[in-house]
Structure 1
């Protein structure tokens, strides 16, 4: 029987290792709550210091491009690291390519993370949710709870860091970046991206780019 993991134990492991809360929770579940074993597992995965590195300044890096098959969609991203040495590493280049492909596949993504979503957009979306017909006659506390859940889902859809990685769907882009921080020993930041769609604004088309990219990967 799996031992229930308390929030205090997760925080303890995070303080000892600097790993992310999600990584700590998973490590503790895998070790049935044994902190020492969880620490060892995190170190083996190289995740024990990823979060501590995430506060360091990253001004080096590269600009990577991805052009989808058929040349109808393209992406430019800026991926930053701390030194030119890491910027030249093949693992860093591959990460940049993977993230650019992810942006091409996820048309709903508009921001790197939820922290970048403008406050005015958050308030606007909140007002729309609260005023929806199915919530009008509900008590204020229930209305707010439902609206909050819907907004959480909506903002997750437009945040790149919250997306499941298309090549390995059991991890998110945030977790993918953390793995590379641990692997390369430096802070890594997705600074910005731009998506280009052929004919955008000239005509209306609906293409399932996510499925196209997924099929392309599977057929490699």
Structure 2
């Protein structure tokens, strides 16, 4: 529905006519499901990708627990793109990268990481003249953990995602680039109320 209606907000989406039954809205369908299964649910967020030269590939993991969209740019249309897109989407689902590449890393977050590494190195008693080298080494490790194209490919530990894309680009004779991705995990971002245990005991005792 999101692909066809081109809505931009959740409010607009739930007000749309349901694609399988235009006599009801999306919100009315959700409300009916809540009544049927007895569990609360809501449409919380969505992403819409569109690309002229390339593909958008989706992947759903764990019976809907994690959903991923990946956008691949490529000047040549090739059936292999769907397989490559799924591989990248599975990587996103499994490794949970925070950024696409080094350039996308939030500068404030990076400086915070650097300061943590710097303090750690000094606390380890390392000479100040080599602390900066250690910091940069740990920053590079940080990039490999949080940047999609820097990550080790989960299906082949000898490849990074960048190397995998380079190899596949050679096979089809055109450059393949990941331009963006989105990863949704069920319950992510929902704050759960945690009752204080002592207060709970007091309530049970009628205090």
Q: Which residue of 1 aligns with 2:88?
A: 99
Aligned match of 1:132: 120
Tell me, in whole angstroms, the C-alpha distance in 1 between the residues paired with 2:124 and 2:157: 37
TM-score under structure 1 length normalisation = 0.58
1:79 aligns with 2:72: yes
Judge conservation of contact 2:55–2:81 (CA < 8 Å) in 1.
no
Other structure's SS at 1:101 match: helix
Native 8 Å contact 2:70 2:181 kept in 1 = yes
After the TM superposition, which residues 1-220 of structure 1 pair with which residues of structure 2 at under 5 Å, given as runs? 60-82=53-75, 86-87=76-77, 89-107=78-96, 109-132=97-120, 134-135=122-123, 137-202=125-190
Tell me the secondary structure at the aligned position of residue 72 of structure 2.
strand
Structure 2: give runs of 5+ residues left out of the alignment.
Answer: 1-50, 193-207
Question: Hey, which of these two has a bigger chunk of helix by percent?
Answer: 1
Higher RCO (C-alpha under 8 Å, 6+ residues apart): 1
Contact 1:135 1:143 in 2 (8 A): no
1:74-104 superposed Cα distances (whole Å, 9 cap, x missing partner): 101111011xxx33x2211110111001100
**In 2, Cα distance between the equivalents of 1:191 and 1:133?**
36
Which secondary structure does the structure 1 equivalent of 2:154 belong to? coil
Contact 1:130 1:136 in 2 (8 A): no
8 A Cα contact 2:102 2:147, kept in partner: yes
Tell me by how many angstroms 1:137 deviates. 5.0
**Number of residue pairs the alignment of both structures matches:** 142
**CA distance in 2: counterparts of 1:133 and 1:169, whole angstroms:** 29
Unmatched runs of 5 consecutive residues or more in structure 1: 1-57, 205-220
Counterpart CA distance in 2 for 1:65 and 1:98 is: 10
Structure 2-normalised TM-score? 0.62
The CA RMSD measured in Å over matched residues stands at 2.2
